[in-house]
Amino acid sequence: MTQATDESTANTAPTLPVVSRETPGSGIDYGYFLDCVHCGLCTASCPTYAELGNENDSPRGRIYLMRAVTDGRLTLNHEVTRHLDLCLDCRACETACPSGVQYGKLIEPFRVAMEEQKEGPAKRDDWFHRWILFGLFPHPKRLQRALLPARVAQAIGLDKLVFNTGLWRLLPGRLGRLVTMLPKLEKPSTTLPKVLPAKGKRRARVALFSGCVSDVMFRRTNWATARVLQENGCDVIVPKGQACCGAIHFHSGSSDPARELADQNIAAIKPADVDAVVVNVAGCGSMLKDYGHHWSDDKQGQREAFANKVKDVNEFLDDLGLLAPRGRIPVKATYHDACHLAHAQGVRDAPRNLLKQIPGLELVELAESDLCCGAAGTYNLTEPEMAGRLSRRKMNNILETGARVVVTANTGCLMQISCESRLQGQNLKIIHPMDLLDLSYREKELVL
């Protein structure tokens, strides 16, 4: 009798609590919390748990904290907030989870609501968020002007003096870190034209999402992406009026500006007119693909239709069938999986499939390839201590491969790994897959 009762109880769906008071979790579908069975298989994949060994800094620990706050069993105090803020939102736990927990749909809205309900000044209202992250990064023209002194400093070698002597440490913490993160700023190339026609037989018509920071600091990669798409028979449309994807705001807890940027992109890029909206930055691609569930209002359907057309460029070309390039690039390279490509988008094999078609390229696997390098959007600026630990761990694994070229499909990773390479005095080439493919198509030499 007891056994039957126990089995009946076990097969009964849990009663969902009635969350009456306003908490950061009150607007989240409670079923997402219940998906987690606390098995702990996610812990080995979590960067912060791997570094700290603290259960509260593991995915299941954070889910428990968020659920306890939502249930009213735990106060959202500074300690709890700190554990949640330390999460990189890399989504590695989603890849590891056998129960299909959608961790991103928990941590992202919870942190947004946490900031909105916070008493007193929100962290997003400090000078760095207001003037740098929100006031500068999402605005390409402003950023281009602001980088002029850095271009001059690089031209006369002042940047190397500041870097090598450690003078950057005299700057306010996050600003100093930003100085070390700057890549080599090449002479600004011309803006991409509105239309770049396919070469040979037309196979597809795509819209290229050019981004904000990426278009200023890595415009050469946007050009390379467009040329590779052309080589593969794609008409490339570069819609005017597109904006930042909104990830910088959303991941800092500022939802409304992110929604405005999303709607600006949907108005500028007509998904019905193209076969795909192609993006070459993993973080941007993840945000664009999530437009459909971040906000519930009368435009949600439009955002979902847009999101369904978004493809990472590696994913798109692999599905289309890459027309193999001919130029040899005889170097040993290793590939780092950007978190928001491998985990958030589930794109792992495609970049490797493309790179293996470059003649002469020796691709060696990287240990812990899908463990976060510490970039995580703007995490390396807001959490420099943990970001530094992770970038050093990543660099140790890179050096073990013996590769001189590191390939990764995200601007944040490119800057983070390049910065660590400079800090350690390593002569490595950090490059986007599209830049390598473009060199091979044009039969150009890779300069190390």
Residues 228 and 338 in one domain: no
Does residue 55 form part of some domain?
Answer: yes
Q: Is residue 57 in a domain? A: yes
pLDDT for residue 14: 44
Decide which of 318, 334, 350 is a domain's last residue: 318
Q: Of 318, 335, 365, which residue is a domain's last?
A: 318
Q: What integer pLDDT is reported at residue 254 of this predicted model? A: 87
Instruction: Examine residue 3 and state whether it is found in any structural domain, yes or no.
Output: no
pLDDT in the model for residue 3: 41
Q: Beginning with the edge strand found earlier in the chain, give each strand of the sheet holding 405-407 in spatial order.
A: 362-364, 332-335, 405-407, 429-431
Q: Assess if residue 357 is contained within a domain.
A: yes
251 within a domain of the structure (yes/no): yes
Grouping H, G, I as helix, E, B as strand and the rest as coil, residue 194 is coil
Q: Are 357 and 322 in contact (CB under 8 A)?
A: yes
Same domain, 308 and 229: yes
Residue-number span of the structural domain to which 51 is assigned? 19-116
* Domain presence at residue 1: no
What is the number of other CB atoms lying within 10 angstroms of the CB of residue 124?
18
Secondary structure element (H or E) that encloses residue 430, with its range: strand 429-431
Cα distances (Å, whole numbers) of residue 5 to 16, 170, 225, 294: 21, 68, 62, 41
The answer to whether the beta carbons of residues 212 and 284 sit under 8 Å apart is no
**The pLDDT of residue 124:** 67
Which pLDDT score, from 0 to 100, does residue 307 have? 96
pTM for the full predicted model = 0.90
Phi, psi of 236 (to 5 degrees): -110, 120
CA atoms within 13 A on the CB side of 88: 36
Are 177 and 222 members of one domain? no
Same domain, 310 and 327: no
pLDDT of residue 258: 94
Output the DSSP codes for 304-334: HHHHTTEEEHHHHHHHH-----------EEE
| Same domain? 112 vs 35 | yes
**Among 26, 63, 25, 28, which Cα is nearest to 46's?**
63
Q: What is the pLDDT of residue 251?
A: 85
The CATH number given to whatever domain includes residue 103 is: 1.10.1060.10
Side chain identity, residue 250: F
Q: What's the CATH number where 394 sits?
A: 3.40.50.1860
What would the two tokens of residue 410 be?
């995200």
Same domain, 272 and 328: no
Query: Does one domain contain both 164 and 206?
Result: no
Mean pLDDT by 10 residues, the chain (448 residues): 39 43 86 93 94 95 95 92 94 94 92 80 75 89 90 87 82 80 82 96 97 92 98 97 93 89 95 96 96 90 95 98 97 97 96 98 97 91 91 97 97 95 94 98 94
Strand, helix or coil for residue 195:
strand
| Side chain identity at residue 180, one-letter code | T
Q: Assess whether 34 and 146 both reside in one domain.
A: no
pLDDT score recorded for residue 4: 39
pLDDT given for residue 22 in this prediction:
79
Q: Is 445 helix (H, G, I), strand (E, B) or coil?
A: coil
Q: Which residues pair with 362 in a beta bridge?
A: 332
Is 448 a domain residue? no
The C-alpha atoms of residue 162 and residue 271 are separated, in whole angstroms, by 46
Asked if residue 63 belongs to a domain, the reply is yes
Q: H-type helices in 99-218, by residue range?
A: 104-116, 127, 140-146, 148-156, 158-165, 173-181, 213-217
Do 85 and 199 fall into the same domain? no
- Supply φ then ψ for residue 372, to 5 degrees: -55, 140
CB-facing half-sphere around the CA of 214: CA atoms within 13 A: 28
* Domain shared by 134 and 204, yes or no: no
Residue that finishes a domain, picked among 116, 143, 165: 116
| 298 token code pair | 């009368």
What's the half-sphere exposure (Cβ side, CA atoms, 13 Å) at 300? 7
235: domain CATH number is 3.40.50
Asked whether residue 351 falls in the same domain as residue 413, the answer is yes
Residues 222, 299: one domain? Answer: yes
Rounded Cα distance, 135 and 124, in Å: 12
Q: Give the count of domains, the chain.
A: 4
